[in-house]
A and B are shown apart, each in its own frame.
Chain A
Amino acid sequence: MKTSELQYIELFRQCRQMLDAGSTPVLNALRDEAMAAFERLGLPTRKVERYKYTDVPAAFAPDYGLNLQRKDIPANVQDNFRCDVPNLSTHLIYSINDVPQPSPAAASTFNTFDETSGGIFIGSLAEASRQRSELVALYYGRLTDLQDNALAALNTAFCQDGIFVYVPRNQRLQQPLQLINLLRSSVDMMVNRRLLIVLEEGAEATLLLCDHAMDTVSFLTTQVIEVHCADNAHLNLYEVEETHTKCHRFSNVFIQAGRDCTVTHNNLTIFNGLTRNTTDVVIAGENTEVTLNGCVVADKNQHVDNNTLIDHRVPNCRSHELYKYVADDAATGAFAGRILVRQDAQKTDSKMTNANLCASTEAHVYSQPMLEIYADDVKCSHGSTVGVLDTQQLFYMQQRGIPTEEARMLLKFAFVGQVIDEITLQPLRERLHYIVEKRFRGELSKCTGCALCK
């Protein structure tokens, strides 16, 4: 075993008590199993098929600090942070590294099973497990594939708190929930974030997760999001990453959907350092519709690797997947998507599309759209392209007096615009159009709104 893993195993042994003390029994219960799995698996190298495009051990090799004692990190977010989506009326909460904190408007219902709204809970995972340990224990860690996924196992071993969103039967969140993940530290820092979303039968929710870094030190983030959608639940989940080039993000999203659900997951990487997003969706009930969309804008040395799996276990379900990448300078964009249609999952309708613009000779694009099909009465297809801007279209615009650079920008913008147009939250859609345009114009070298850019 290499040093990359050893330092985490050592740390876990030394700080086991500290970890437990800063958390709750429900979260502590899985630690040993998770660490044992991590020790057995080790960090995935590029020889592991699902990680062939990202060097995980290298990202985990540096010595990062961890806030295991849960010391307060001063962050006056309301003063220092401007939201990127100003016109969106949301239920806003923050997570400073992995410590949940409500905005003033959301404070009244924070950390309570709010009976006025039918028992909805939005708040700290640790706090929820103190109040209703049986409920959290029912869901926490259930979808995480500890035995096979070393990064999720590592997160489970070190996770001390997170966010818990619980929408009981037939309830819906009145406003979209916006969770702003802020990274804040004066030294290089590792953060293990956790998000548990439970939608009971007939529940509805829209969530927007924004990642920002407020300091210029290096961050290593592992994130596990578990989403339980019971029958007839409807979820829109948006993730927007706008951090900086010294941020390393390893995200694992596990979604399980029952029957008659609609689940939409949008993953937008606007600015980052190294990002690896794994999204695993299990469709366990009939007549469910799953949409996975993503767009990536990467330049400099940025690295974005999206890996998805849609597991059709039952008949009569639909899934759509659309990922678009623009890779410029020496950026690396990787997409690997797998659609698995199990035996007897008949009448599955599934479509996967991956389109890439490779805008420089230094940039590197990998695309790997996979179909694995064991049922015959299905409609499955995938398409993948890697290409350049259409010279005819450029010429058309130049004829009409649009300068080449502007024309190129417009085309790139239209290219990723297809993904953004799919977003149903109108203010978010408009804002993202604006941010992406700024990004292409080179006016966005860091995240807007964070303390550094003011």
Chain B
Amino acid sequence: MANEYVKKVAEEKYKYGFTTNVYTEIIDKGLNEDIVRLISQKKGEPEWMLDFRLKAYRFWQEQKQPTWAHLRMPEIDYQAISYYADPTAKKADEGKKEIDPELMKTFDKLGIPLEERMALSGVAVDAVMDSVSIKTTFKERLSEKGIIFCSISEAINQYPELVRQYLGSVVPYRDNYFAALNSAVFSDGSFVYIPKNTRCPMELSTYFRINARNTGQFERTLIVCEAGGYVSYLEGCTAPMRDENQLHAAIVEIVVMDDAEVKYSTVQNWYPGDSEGRGGVLNLVTKRGHLRGANSKLSWTQVETGSAITWKYPSCILSGDGSQAEFYSVAVTNHHQQADTGTKMIHLGRNTRSTIISKGISAGQSENSYRGLVRVGKDADGARNYSSCDSLLLGNRCGAHTFPYQDVQNATAIIEHEATTSKISEDQLLYCNQRGISTEEAVGLIVNGYAKDVINKLPMEFAVEATKLLSVSLEGSVG
């Protein structure tokens, strides 16, 4: 009975799969030094930025794409992708540059109104489509407090010292293959700077949208939170339905100073491909936070429901004494989706603490892996880590895997890891059915209950969205 229900639910359609019909300036396909120069020139960047990009490009050329993840990755032809698409560009005969109403409509449709009066109170949004930031709301109100919230392109020109100081300091361009690629061709993303002892009065959020065909999105986000600051940052993303794979290789860098706190939440809902596994976004992301200051705090919360392939390990380097890091993740895979995701907690400072809660849900013929590293350095006295990775299998053709790595070099560290694998039992369903809850609702209920530890960590608006998303993503998948 449950199996039939699962099949039915698996047929659910992706509701953000529409495309926006807007004139988009797309540069030629392919990747070479000239393209890197062209991107830099289009964004009017200073010389040092171009140097950074070129160095990254040259390094990338020497590298091979990593194959260690538990993923069957389609071959990516890096020369068949266009690396810059600008939907705000005007045709030559058009006049003054204003935001195309089509774009405004698109974001309205996605539930991200760009008019400040219409926006949800308390959330400032930076909306990025393809390679360009469309608009950043509430910029002025934030700047009164000294908070900088703008697109990274703008920041490179307006706050070059700040960007130069921090860009690449957490994820250097030599970090890995995709980080090098991103460093060479990154287009837009957000820059956040929270000054000393400032509490950001509203949630900051960036919404990424891929629209143009045959392009990739290479966003770059940099968040710097000075001593005593606080910010909660949200990231959302969607893409149209296409038969071919689209590449998304992003970098997020976060720097947290003494006593500061950053919360980073993501609801990742890139197009996952159709039920046959055609198309979908290849989500190859490097996210890392550096807890530089004493008693600093960073938490990553992610709900991963989209993408054909997810390769993502939001990590924390805990070098400040007494710093705390948290990682909460729900990763859902259905149909032919594949996810290899997890975190790294590198304990370097004394009395550092980290928590990892990962919930994997696999359905259909998907593969869902948790891969995580907990490392305790020689001097990290009193380090403490607790990891818990649970997998829920819905259906007998999917896979759920756990690959935790622990590497301890300190005699005072306490590291715990546990993992379980289970399925929704007929008993649980029967119990709900007996009480008048339909199988469909029961599955939603059980899955949401299972993911609750993580959903609870999300900001309110996101939590509501994530709960809905979970039931939708899993439609058609219970065994």
Q: How large is the interface on A (under 10, 10 to 19, 20 to 34, 35 or more residues)?
A: 35 or more
B404 within 8 A of A: yes
> Looking across the interface, which residue of chain B has its beta carbon closest to that of A382?
B419
Determine if B21 is an interface residue (Cβ-Cβ < 8 Å): no
- In the complex, are the beta carbons of A370 and B411 less than 8 A apart? no
- B406 lies within 8 A of A384 (CB): yes
Q: Report chain B residues within 8 Å CB of A343.
A: 396-397
Which chain B residues lie closer than 8 Å to A380 at the CB level? 420-421
Known contacts A346-B396, A387-B414, A388-B414: does B421 contact A371 (CB below 8 Å)? yes
State A360–B70 Cα separation when bound (angstroms): 35
What's the Cα separation between A198 and B479 when bound, in Å? 40
Q: Complex Cα distance A444/B426, Å? A: 56
A366: which B residues are within 8 A, CB to CB? 405-408
Chain B residues with Cβ below 8 Å from A361 are 378, 409-411
CB nearest neighbor in A for B406: A367
Closest to A361 in B: B411
**B272: Cβ under 8 A from any A Cβ:** no
B79 is an interface residue with CB less than 8 A from chain A: no
Contact flag A385-B410 (CB < 8 Å), given A368-B405, A376-B395:
no
Across the interface, name the chain A residue whose C-beta is closest to B400: A373
Q: Does B13 lie at the interface of the complex (its beta carbon under 8 Å from any beta carbon of A)?
A: no
Answer yes or no: B349 CB below 8 A from chain A CBs: no
Q: Does B155 contact A (CB under 8 A)?
A: no
A374 touches B420 (CB 8 A): no
Instruction: Assess whether B416 is in contact with A374, with CB atoms less than 8 Å apart.
Output: no
In angstroms, Cα B399 to Cα A373, docked, is: 5
- B55-113 contacts to A, CB under 8 A, are 68, 70
B167 proximal to A (CB < 8 A): no
Whether A365 sits at the interface, judged by CB under 8 Å, is: yes
**CB pair A386 B403 closer than 8 Å:** no
Say yes or no for B402: interface residue by CB 8 A criterion.
Answer: yes
Are B417 and A385 in contact, CB atoms less than 8 angstroms apart? yes
Q: CB-CB < 8 A to B68: which residues of A?
A: 49
The yes or no answer to A375 lying at the interface (CB within 8 A) is yes
Nearest chain A residue, comparing its CB with the CB of B373 = A368
Q: With the chains together, A383 CA to B393 CA distance in Å?
A: 19
The listed residue (A358, A363, A373) touching B421 by CB distance below 8 A is A373
A238 nearest CB across to chain B (Å): 28
Interface centre among B401, B415, B421, by most A CB within 10 Å?
Answer: B421
Taken together as a complex, chains A and B put the C-alpha atoms of A374 and B421 apart, in Å, by 11
Q: 18 A-B residue contacts at CB 8 Å?
A: A49-B68, A343-B396, A346-B396, A361-B410, A367-B405, A368-B404, A369-B402, A369-B417, A374-B399, A376-B394, A376-B398, A377-B396, A379-B421, A381-B418, A383-B417, A386-B406, A387-B416, A388-B413
Q: Which 4 A-B pairs have the closest CB atoms?
A: A376-B393, A386-B415, A367-B406, A380-B421
Question: Which residues of A are in contact with B by a Cβ distance under 8 Å?
Answer: 49, 343-344, 346, 356, 358-361, 363-388
13 extra interface residue pairs, beta carbon distance < 8 Å, beyond A356-B408, A358-B413, A384-B406: A358-B410, A361-B411, A363-B409, A364-B408, A369-B417, A370-B404, A371-B391, A376-B396, A379-B422, A383-B419, A386-B413, A386-B414, A387-B413
